[in-house]
Amino acid sequence: MEEEFKPQTFGKRWIVLLLISISIALRGFNQSCFGPSNNLLSHYFQVEPWQIDWLVIIQSVIFLSVALPLSMLTVRMGYRTLVLSTTLSQAAGFAITSIGLSFRSGFSLVLCGQGLMGFSNIVSWSLPPPTAAIWFGKNEVASAVAVQVVARGVGEAIGAYLPTSLTSDNTTVEQLGGTWTVMYSSLCGVAILMFILALAIITDKPERPPSWAQYKAEQGQQRGGLSKGMLQEIRKSAAEFWRVLTILFKDPNFVCVWILFGASNPVLRNNNVLLSSAVNMQFDHVSNLNWRIGLVLMGAWGMYTIGGFIAGPLISYTQKYQLIVFVGELFLFVSTLLVFVGIYVRNLNLIYVGVILQGFMVGWCNTSLFELIAEISYPHSTIFVTMISIICMGIFRFFYPLVGRFVMNNVSVSASELFPCLIMGICVIISGAIRPTYHRKFANQKEERRALLNSLECEDDD
């Protein structure tokens, strides 16, 4: 009976959160390490700088190719399967990349390894909202999402800086290959350990739901039932996919937040890919530029963790989702403008300030948009909705660096930073115009009131 249900949280949730956070940090490291060392890696593999860009872009290509069909399956896979798929594919991707890095003609192998990481990224991106919703109480959900955002920032920060601190323009080809091979072999070892621990610890859900909203969501999923056989599962998932997709995209608020999430998140990633090349072209008289850019990107990803960690509790305390998203989008636009102006007037300090601010605001927007998406799409599966949402992010991750590199090579370096400026200006307008309905928040309030009334009635009967 619903009247007998009481939300309960378990200590195991912190172990689950730790494992997921480490996995997310590994993903962040992998995505941020290539850009700041673009010129050194292009020399090592004897390829063009744009080809090194593809070590990151290939992940978006795989992302866009597989995300839609995978979205139809993830809602049926179960939380445990998602975690195991993430950690196992990470280990395999790191292993292949490590082997490719061990010899100068191994670029194609590294590209294959990063392609596999693209698959891993799809599944990994779907984990933060369900990890928070399935395991944490209603007052902990935003903070649990924030911790995972922080984990990504830590991984990105280390990935942006560590390779540039271990190598320099004076590093020999043999030293460069050896350093990167050891680095990726170590990542592979950590990923294997995470897979083993996940195999032993992770379950689909705790013994009891941690909140009324999660209880209601699980009840709805149980009423839907499960069909027998893989073919029936795929058909049912496909039908469910299109049903939910149709419902969500009839809601203009969801469409707007979907665009905001997709456009905002990859802005800092774009600078991870292109900023080193832009600065090396614009400031050819300055020494140690790779190290400088690695350092400022590390600072930006550090600020990303702070932004995410501040936004989570702020949302929990104020419940002002739309306002917090708007503030994030506004200052994210300001950060892209600062980077553009800094490159245009050849002022490194302006670029540094813009990138650091950008890190903080991307973390802020990432956390707040995750929460806003969960609110307006409730009671649909958080795994399913997140998979749909990150498709838009994959589109922008693909086009930001492609457009930027094309403009950089054919127009000017400063013009390459205009595209994200224009997109973020549109996002500011969208975030200020939306008027979302907070379905999950209202569901929790409704059930809490009902439980309180039932409790009072029982006391009156006594």
pLDDT at 162: 92
User: Following CA atoms 316, 320, 324, 330 in sequence, which dihedral angle do they give, to the nearest 10 degrees?
Assistant: 180
pLDDT at 370: 81
Residue 159 near residue 32 (C-beta atoms within 8 A): yes
Going residue by residue through the chain (462 aa), what tens digit of pLDDT does each one get?
A: 445 667 667 778 899 899 999 999 999 899 889 988 888 999 999 999 899 999 988 988 887 777 667 666 655 667 888 889 889 999 999 999 999 999 999 999 999 999 999 888 877 777 777 788 787 877 777 778 778 878 888 898 899 899 988 988 788 999 999 999 999 999 999 999 999 999 998 888 777 777 666 666 656 555 444 444 555 665 666 677 777 778 888 888 888 989 999 999 889 989 888 898 889 888 877 777 888 888 999 999 889 888 887 888 888 788 888 899 999 999 999 999 999 999 999 999 999 999 999 999 998 998 888 888 888 887 766 666 777 777 888 888 889 999 999 999 899 998 998 999 999 999 999 999 988 777 666 665 555 556 555 555 555 555
- pTM recorded for the entire structure: 0.74
C-alpha distances in Å from residue 430, one per residue of 258, 329, 375, 433 = 11, 9, 18, 5
Residue 362 near residue 332 (C-beta atoms within 8 A): yes
Q: Distance (Å, rounded) from C-alpha 296 to C-alpha 315?
A: 28
Q: Distance (Å, rounded) from C-alpha 239 to C-alpha 242?
A: 5
Q: Distance (Å, rounded) from C-alpha 214 to C-alpha 138?
A: 9
